[in-house]
Amino acid sequence: FGKKTLRKQVVFDVNLQINSGEIIILTGQSGSGKTTLLSLIGGLRSVKEGSLRILDQELHGADENQLVVVRRQIGYIFQAHNLLQFMTARQNVQMSVELHENISDKKARVKSEAILKAVGLGARVNYYPHDLSGGQKQRVAIARALVSHPKLILADEPTAALDSRTGREVVELMQRLAQQQGCAIMLVTHDNRILDIADRILHMEDGRLVT
């Protein structure tokens, strides 16, 4: 990243295979490259040098259309739920459906309400974010990420703003629904209380994966 004398390599020699239904937790100190790696995998940042192959697509040199193909196979869950405040829970989820699929409004609505029911918010589909608790907002974010059945979920500190009990409930919910869909999860966290849900735990140090 950066230009000329400020140019700096951030991620080095990362070779990682994630299997369907698998949960990988990525740990490491702040500044170790975890979030950068997640954003590269998700096609949210461009690769400057080298090769990055995600879901059988080479992202180095990929044009916007190729990046969109990859992004549509990935669900994102962030520390800040990033819900649109002027939309209801159902509308936040439905927007994701409509971005991913050529689908009628009625079918998109049904699909959105079904996933919200699956995350325990069937009675709150018409609530706005300001009427939901922190845990409920993160459940909406999980529903939004999973509604289009992605092949991979990228979660960056999804429990950071939650208390221990709510955080645990959120990651167990994410785990259950992803396994039902055969979806892999790569989760960045500093929360030692949820490490036991992982199939594998990887550590990142100075831009390199350390197993």
pLDDT tier, 74 (very low <50, low <70, confident <90, very high otherwise): very high
What pLDDT digit, counting tens, does each position of 154-201 carry? 999 888 888 888 888 888 988 888 888 899 999 999 888 899 999 999
Q: Are 90 and 116 in contact (CB under 8 A)?
A: yes
pLDDT attached to residue 81: 81
Q: What pLDDT was estimated at residue 8?
A: 66
Q: The whole model's pTM is what?
A: 0.87
What are the chain's domains?
A: 11-210 (3.40.50.300)
pLDDT score for 128? 98
Say if CB 93 and CB 112 are below 8 A apart: yes
Among 24, 17, 75, 30, which Cα is nearest to 205's? 30
